[in-house]
Structure 1
Amino acid sequence: MKICVIGTGYVGLVVGACFAEMGNFVICVDNDEEKLNKLKNGIIPIYEPGLEDLIKFNVAEKRLSFSSDLEKAVKESLICFIAVGTPQGEDGSADMKYVYTVAKQIGKALNGYKVIVDKSTVPVGTAEKVAEIIKTNAKEEFKNEFDVVSNPEFLKQGAAVEDSLKPDRIVIGSNSDKATKIMYELYAPYLRTGNPVITMDIKSAEMTKYAANSFLAVKISYINEIANICERVGANIDMVRMGIASDKRIGNQFLFPGLGYGGSCFPKDVKALLNTAKENNCEYDMLKAADSINFNQRKLFIGKVETYYNNNIKGKTFAVWGLAFKPNTNDMREAPSITIINALLEKGAIIKAYDPKAMETAKMVFGDKIIYASSSYDTLENTDALLLLTEWNEFRRPDFNRVRDMLKDKVIFDGRNIYDRSMLEERGLKYIRIG
């Protein structure tokens, strides 16, 4: 099938490459010529395991190409995916200007029947607005030659390629039998494992994405709140977590205490759903609490550092391991590291940081305000304490004797609870964690 994917961010690049991998001919469209030139030369602007090889292979096979000519891409495609950003507005709502701009351009380019797919995370009712914009801008003979479908993505950064090639479910929101049939044909190669395609009305599909992400956000905030109670009463959150996660009704995913969630999805989607609830005169106290708890986890961690140093960290040098909001990505959007590092800098601390993949991203965030180390151990030179902020695998089993010998104050602040207290204390390290 011939497909165009408009937007080459995390979602657009991954789904475009994966559709090409399944034998489709895919044009990825973007208006950023610098990014397109990099992609055409095999330089992938994001880090996602497996993505670089997938893109290079399908470009070589001439199934995947990159272009800034949206009109041409639309004219040559049967299915047009809208995968542009929907950043958070000042009031917490999703900023839809990029989606609507693309819809207008698609309308002007229509030259026959198309399935227009909202892949971006969008508020309920967006498909109706997109259809209206396309129809308004289309030539008279093509005003009814399209259907708009909602097909939300459920990709985890760090495992997005695997999630795209082997989805646990595919949600298709459609009011058109013709469009639904085409979408089933597109996804047929993905369904050999028997995972379901769930068809529903468009508004329900739009709501499903926000509901799923918000549920996971609530789950993360729940375990963080339990961890904080455990700390007060003397219980061990690791033991409590294992005790409740073994219940099949609860499960163990997204049930790890720490600094809370970050990234481009959970913070934005939680606030967008809160905004939708507000616009429709609905109270959503649980989600408000989850959002508040999430931010407070960062403040709590900062407070642990300050308390240890008797509220005087001016001149202290901290080694930071991990800057990305989670492992296996270079994405720092809404990363806890940003809040924590900025707070410590404001109080006069010096930061030496290292991340396996997010160093270039960090330079765009912090500029020259922090020191960029060449390795995890390089951060420890002439450093008072270690702060673990992202649980990359390479940080899980370091040489703790070496860490102890390099740290002046022999203390580790673990924001992800990945270390064993007794093991560290046996090696002469002080250990401060969540819960």
Structure 2
Amino acid sequence: MICEREDKIRNFKEEEYWTVKVLFKKDSSDFTCDLVKIDGKKPEISSEKQANDVKNDILKSAFHVTKYQKSKRKQQPPPPYITSSLQIEASRKLNFSAKKTMMVAQQLFEGIDLGKKGTTGLITYMRTDSTRISEKARESAKQFIASTYGEEYTQEKAIRRKTKKFAQEAHEAIRPTNVRLMPQNIKQHLSNDQYKLYNLIFTRFIASQMAPAIFDETKIELEDGKYTLKGKTSVLIFDGFSKIYPIDTKDKGHIPSIDKGENIKPKDVETVQHFTQPPARYTEGTLVKELEAKGIGRPSTYASIISRLLDKKYVIEKSKTMFPTELGEIVEKTLVKLFPDIFHVQFTSKMEMELDEIEEGKKKYLDLMREFYAKLSERMKNVEENRANIKKEIQEETDKKCPKCGAPLVIKWGRFGKFLACSNYPDCKYTEP
């Protein structure tokens, strides 16, 4: 996945495009709308000339209101953490690696010496893919929220959340074992990293059990026969869970009351140049998110997968971003070429599901192994027969000569990286770093 992403970045071709915003004025109030369609189709404006032509066209036109709608929108709180979402958030907010997140979470789970309270496990089991919580935990959170923030901040009824496709749900979500053990009250017993992670888990859990944030939302749609414009504003009227878990609640303008069918002329048009961007390289957090989405690995293996890639020097991290090394790209291309069926995202995901089916008694272990081994043994036989050619394909020629026999030296790969070796091997075993 990391190598495939790097290939996409290398092969990416930048493309220019323009967006158009139209400014209107009504009853001393300004509001803006985005151009969303031209002749019923998504706008494709690829040059400044095209953008200016559209701008001049719109400025000459009068638009009539085809839709005006005011409503209240609820934004539900996020679910409590599972392993993947904890690793993603700890990476983004605390700059923790997946390995460090799991190490600190393990300490919080196993127990911290809280003085007179003794050694206490502060969080539930941290390797889980389930967002469910017990009724007892839900009720404790509700009482805590009511007494701390007010009854209006509690949920009227529990939120029913969808179960993810690959979820096993063997454990509860990651949550504090006792909501009365507030992070700031036990901070003196925790290391800096323990406090940061416990505070993250505690806050997310409490927020997940709070009332939704409520917004006043206004939507408008205008047309002139050729161009379709849409505008939307949102104003927070009740903070709900965002009281402790920040979200973007900045007021997004104001659209005054306008009657459906009313005509209105543009005041101004803004055209903005953009360029398409290549896909972003993975961070540890976004890689975990992608692994989970594709069904690769399990909560207990995300951190070890990333650690193995780093330890083997298949990837390196620069400024939290993951880059494949030259060794990593050679290994990836060689394995994909030799084992195209096995080194494939779909195969790995399918294998994870089949292993789950074995655990559930839906499939027999030996049947799966026979099916897998038949394909693998055939591929391995091909590799053994072509071992010499495979090695030659990944070595590089040089203009240097072997000081022992005079044959050309080539660059080969070994367990510790690149080295120079005589191309006349095994007759000549000369090497140098």
TM-score (norm 1): 0.23
Higher relative contact order (CA 8 A, sep 6+): 2
More strand, by proportion = 2
TM-score (norm 2): 0.23
More helix, by proportion = 1
